[in-house]
Amino acid sequence: MAHKVTAPLVSVKDPAGKNTYFYEGATVPDGFDKGDVDRLVEAGMLEKAEPEAKPAARSAK
């Protein structure tokens, strides 16, 4: 699940093990280091992101 950054800046290991920096309001996508994500959630620096609303389908005329 994606997470939203609530701290001014966080560093999370990407799938290749490199540190990636995210600023407040950014979304950390799935696939980043679970240990880092869990630690940052516990510290209040990340929160679960709300799923993006998909536009409603329109019927063909």
pLDDT given at position 50: 80
* Averages of pLDDT over each 10 residues, the chain, 61 residues: 95 94 95 95 94 61 61
Q: Determine whether 31 is exposed, middle or buried from the number of CB atoms within 10 Å of its CB (0-12, 13-18, 19+).
A: exposed
Helix or strand or coil: residue 39? helix
Alpha-carbon distance values, 25 to 13, 15, 32, 48, 49 (Å): 18, 21, 17, 12, 10
pLDDT given at position 11: 96
What's this model's pTM, rounded to 2 decimal places?
0.78
In the chain, what is the straight-line distance between the N-terminal and C-terminal CA atoms, in Å? 37
Count CB neighbours of 15 within 10 A: 10
